[in-house]
Structure 1
């Protein structure tokens, strides 16, 4: 299960809206921020809110841990990108076999792409769920010989 900490933005009758919380870092740099984190912040897009199914009574500002099943991200990517691409190539090859020429291949590719896009849109995507409340207590690393 892939997990991410999120903050509740607002509640609705069919779930809650959450926003992912960025981790504060590993702490090795003494809170100054490492170079890779600073570079990542340059390309950071604005935060997005997501609807998540939830059975807990939560209020805006609460922190929760949300999760999505292992493999669901890969399956969704294959459905959304791989299926239309495969159908585009298949359509182009089939049209080329039936009628040699670039025009037929282009038409077959476009037709395969439209069919692949419509089939990919019809599937149901895996939705994240709230696993538990985030209690906000960070874990403590204990070095060998220390208690």
Structure 2
């Protein structure tokens, strides 16, 4: 699991807007996968504020722990980049193969556009099935900050 300590900014129904807490490098981050807090931020395009599910009714100002499955970063990249590229290329190839010779380039371009639009429609329909980050626990003011570093000395 990728976990990060964040601060709740505002609450909307079953969701909360949170801000990633800045932290310094400890020098002991997981050498195999790197800093997981940075990975969580990259999942949202580098944004420092993002929306998460809030099943524990956290309130603005609370420090909370947000969690996302480890494979979510790779899955979202494959769906977001791989599917549109694959359907764009498939549409262009099919358009080129089945078009009359004098119109092959135009039909290939049309096939590419149709393939890309199909990919975006699939992603739009599938958006409700995407895994969302979720608040898993509240952190009290006396609790030590969470760390994804395995060897951090206290």
TM-score, normalised to structure 1's length? 0.73
- Secondary structure of 1:121's partner? helix
State the match for 2:112 in structure 1: 109
Whose radius of gyration is greater, 1 or 2? 1
1:16 CA displacement: 1.9
Q: Which residue of the other structure, out of 118, 141, 145, is the alignment partner of 2:153?
A: 141
Aligned length: 126
- For the Cα contact (< 8 Å) 1:9–1:18, is it kept in 2? yes
Q: Distance in 2 between matches of 1:19 and 1:137?
A: 18
**TM-score, structure 2 normalization:** 0.70
Specify every segment of 5 or more residues in structure 1 that has no aligned partner in the other structure, as ranges. Answer: 28-44, 143-147
State how far apart, in whole Å, the 1-side matches of 2:82 and 2:46 are.
28
Structure 2: tracts of 5 or more residues without a match: 28-44
**Greater relative CO, 1 or 2 (CA 8 Å, sep 6+):** 2
Gap change, CA 1:126 and 1:102, over 3 Å in 2: same
2:19 aligned partner: 19
Change (3 A) 1:57 1:117: closer
Report the CA distance between 1:113 and its aligned residue: 0.9
